[in-house]
Amino acid sequence: MTGRNEAICLAAEELYDPMVAFAQKLIQCRSDTGHEEGVADLILEELKLIGFDEVARDRTGNVVGILKGDGTGSSIMFNCHMDQVDPGDLTAWQYEPFGGVVADGYIHGRGASDTKGTIATQIYTGALLKKMGVRLKGDLIFTFVVEEEPGDMWGAIRLYEDFLKGRKIDFCISGESTSMDISLGHRGRLEVQVISKGKNSHSSAPWLGINAVSKMAPMIGEIECLAKDTQEDGTFKSSLSIINIECHPGFNCVVPDSCTVNVDYRFTARETAESVLARFRKVADRLEKKDKEAGYEIRIRNLEHTSYTKVHEFAELNKPCFIMDEKNEYVQKTLKALESVGQHPKTYFWDFGTDVAYFAAVCGIPSIGYSPAEEKYCHAPTDRISIGLMKEALEGYTAICLEISAK
């Protein structure tokens, strides 16, 4: 055991139980997207109790806790989200989804792995550093955002634009699930809406109308062909999935005048939103030439948000791709720090998307993922987080802070 490892382990011992208890409290407080106030209040209270130097809630409801350095070194931002997905079929759960039950070495419940267990671990990293009396050169900025689950990064965007912009942030660590490994990025995500236009008539006289659903049928076949024509950049391969189909009005005896197909398109570093939309537009143009009654609109889905603080906005579901260079100095320091506490993470890329794409690709902040949460439990009725991995991550996060931001 190295000197650093021994010092961290000894200091951490008394914090394991309160860290677990706080994770249980977070899981027990339901926080569907747009309804995160209860969890935000718990986090604010805990940050103040631990003694963070600055604790704030921004206008959108995001929560921030800062341990301040003297400004002579690098600052790290930690990031997690406070919302969780619906528990779904309650009969599929072994443990009550909002019970926060501890059993078999895990804390069980909805949001445990995504990302409430990691929130507790990150916050108690601050507690451990204070307990150790660490003096900081750079700030440690712990951020907990609203409305991550819709996928358009709206909460993260509001956090940066309204609170973080102008602050020195040298490195970002996401708490999305990595099973203690290091994620260096992920593909971009664009939700494309393809809308076929038609004309209403009574369904007993369909010849008087134009059925938008019928016009969508050949487009769906073409979309399936696009799925086979994957794009590659040397790291990633594109993919697409049709995730929703609906028509209007969709009831009574009416030939529908519109049909909308939503497509989840995961894109590579060589693609842009414009190039992806152009692929769909090319297909639409071809179909419109074949069928003069057909008409298609291609657009990015626009999501409506109302935060628990009543901020109301729309945002496009356009999440950028990002790839972090493993040779980056902060990645190398992270790997060195984790080695010092006996951890040997592999580097890889997420399949799913995260808010950290905004910080990395738009704000230009070097960013990675490192977390005790395991992806296989995310959004599942087996949702849980390993207490053993939380303890290891507490030591890992602390070692990273000591390596990068401490005197």
Asked if residue 143 is part of any domain, the answer here is yes
Beta-carbon count within 10 A of 206 CB: 12
Residues 371 and 292 occupy one common structural domain: no
H or E element at residue 323: strand 322-323
Asked if residue 138 is part of any domain, the answer here is yes
Residues 332 and 262 occupy one common structural domain: no
Q: Mapping DSSP to helix (H, G, I), strand (E, B) and coil, where does residue 296 land?
A: strand
pLDDT at site 5: 79
Residues 291 and 357 occupy one common structural domain: no
Domain extent, residue 251, equals 188-305
Residues 164 and 272 occupy one common structural domain: no
Confidence check: pLDDT of 107 > 90: yes
Asked if residue 348 is part of any domain, the answer here is yes
Question: What's the CATH number where 86 sits?
Answer: 3.40.630.10
What are the tens digits of pLDDT across the range 3-23? Answer: 677 889 898 999 999 999 999
Residues 85 and 155 occupy one common structural domain: yes
- Relative to beta strand 185-186, strand 239-248 is unpaired
Question: Which residues contact residue 77 at a Cβ distance below 8 angstroms, ignoring those fewer than 6 apart?
Answer: 141, 142, 143, 164, 169, 171, 172, 173, 359, 365
Identify the domain boundary among 305, 336, 356.
Answer: 305
Residues 168 and 137 occupy one common structural domain: yes
pLDDT at site 6: 85
Asked if residue 9 is part of any domain, the answer here is yes
Side chain identity at residue 293, one-letter code: E
Residues 296 and 326 occupy one common structural domain: no
Asked if residue 315 is part of any domain, the answer here is no
Identify the domain boundary among 272, 305, 338.
Answer: 305
Identify the domain boundary among 270, 305, 340.
Answer: 305
Residues 395 and 247 occupy one common structural domain: no
CA separation for the pair 67, 47 (Å, rounded): 10
Residues 213 and 79 occupy one common structural domain: no
CA separation for the pair 337, 229 (Å, rounded): 42
Residues 132 and 12 occupy one common structural domain: yes
Number of folded domains that form the chain: 2
CA separation for the pair 3, 75 (Å, rounded): 24
Question: What's the CATH number where 280 sits?
Answer: 3.30.70.360
CA separation for the pair 253, 203 (Å, rounded): 5
Instruction: State percent of the chain over pLDDT 70.
Output: 99
Residues 173 and 50 occupy one common structural domain: yes
pTM metric for this prediction: 0.95
What are the tens digits of pLDDT across the range 137-195? Answer: 999 999 999 999 999 999 999 999 999 999 999 999 999 999 999 999 999 999 999 99
Residue 314 Rama label (left phi>0; alpha psi -120 to 50; beta):
beta
pLDDT at site 2: 65
CA separation for the pair 73, 336 (Å, rounded): 18
Beta strands in 200-275 (DSSP E): 239-248, 258-267
Residues 161 and 193 occupy one common structural domain: no
